[in-house]
Chains A and B, each alone.
Chain A
Amino acid sequence: MIPVHYYLILSAVMFITGVVGVLTRRNAIIIFMCIELMLNSVNLTFVAFSSYLGNEAGQMFVFFVMAVAAAEAAVGLAIVIALFRNKQTVNINEVNILKW
């Protein structure tokens, strides 16, 4: 059998990939997708612990995380569309009206 560490390390690597994406990319939609990647890497940790500890609570959490991610996708993409309608761009360097 595979020890649980393998899953945890894979999850950590995927999470950091998402972090690097959020920090380096300028396209709002790609940043949004990187956040989805980070949510998914956390889901992997939940399911791995759920399966190795024999407790279904982790899979319940994944269910609710997916519901929140779906809601976030709908609202986030609506914001991107509203942004594009006003600024004609999704480059976050050019969207700084809340910056001081």
Chain B
Amino acid sequence: MSSELIVFLVLAAVAVLSGILMITRANPVNSALFLILNFIALAGMYLTLNAQFVAIIQILVYAGAIMVLVLFVIMLLNLQDEEPLRETLTKRHYASLLFALLTLAMLIEAIGWMGGDTLDRMQQQSPLAVANGTVQHIGDVLFSSYVFPFELTSILLLAAMLGAVVIAKKRFP
């Protein structure tokens, strides 16, 4: 086994296990902490894909800003633990699990169909990958080809900011 494969398998195991632990914990704070672990494993995954900028943004925005906001709200509401999942298992839970596993099988089947020359081309990363992931290149592209969506993002964030303030205000109009 090559060292790359070992790194990938370790990160993948951390990502999957933390995801499963996240959806099975009764306490929301534990769930949020496992989600942060998942995000950090994904940031490592982005580094193995030569996407430095995305990896740093993942840590700063997701593991930093968004999850701090989520944890802040959980602490603010002072929630009790949800009743343990295994005591409340109903037919609906089994049905949703069955549905999810069928969807997973379908997705993996679809990935398996990606055969032929696509498969040969996708055996290793493009030689351009290292140059494409740098902050310099991302910045170049972001402020040339993608400058309009970038400016639209500012309007989106402004609208979200105003919306959050209005909704969370004490006297909702």
A complexed with B: yes
Q: A40–B44 Cα gap in the complex (Å)?
A: 13
Report the bound CA distance from A36 to B85 in whole Å: 21
- Residues of B contacting A85 in the complex (Cβ-Cβ under 8 angstroms): 170
A16, A62, A72, A91, most chain B CB atoms within 10 A? A16
CB distance from B128 to the nearest CB of A (A): 3
Contact B54 A62 (CB under 8 A): yes
**Complex Cα spacing A40 to B132, Å:** 20
| Contacting pair B77 A81 (CB below 8 A) | yes
B interface, over-half SS? helix
How many residues on the A side are at the interface (Cβ–Cβ under 8 A)? 69
Q: Is the CB of B66 within 8 A of A78?
A: no
Q: A-side binding surface: helix, strand, loop or mixed?
A: helix
Report whether A54 and B141 are in contact in the complex, using a CB–CB cutoff of 8 Å: no
Query: Does the CB pair A50–B16 fall under 8 Å?
Result: no
Residues of B within 8 Å of A1, CB to CB, are: 4, 123-125
Given contacts A30-B31, A51-B49, A70-B65, contact A6 B126 (CB under 8 A): no
| A10 partner residues in chain B, CB cutoff 8 A | 12, 15-16, 45
Range class of the B interface residue count: 35 or more
Q: How far is the CA of A52 from the CA of B57 in the complex (A)?
A: 20
CB-CB < 8 A to A3: which residues of B?
119, 122-124
Q: Is A24's CB under 8 angstroms from B157's CB?
A: no
- Expressed in whole angstroms, the Cα–Cα distance for A80 and B12 within the complex equals 31
Contact A79 B167 (CB under 8 A): yes
Q: Min CB distance, B68 to chain A, in Å?
A: 10
Query: Could you give, for residues 107-122 of chain B, a 1 whenever the CB lies within 8 Å of some chain A CB and a 0 otherwise?
Result: 1100110100001011
Binary CB contact string for chain A from 51 to 73 against chain B (1 if under 8 A, 0 otherwise) = 11111100110111011111111
Most central of B16, B66, B99, B142 by chain A CB within 10 Å: B66
A residues at B contact (CB < 8 Å): 1-10, 12-21, 23-27, 29-30, 32-34, 36-37, 40, 43-44, 47-48, 50-56, 59-60, 62-64, 66-75, 77-82, 84-85, 90-91
In the A-B complex, list the 10 residue pairs whose CB atoms are closest, starting with the nearest: A54-B126, A54-B128, A71-B160, A1-B124, A21-B23, A23-B96, A78-B168, A12-B107, A78-B167, A78-B164
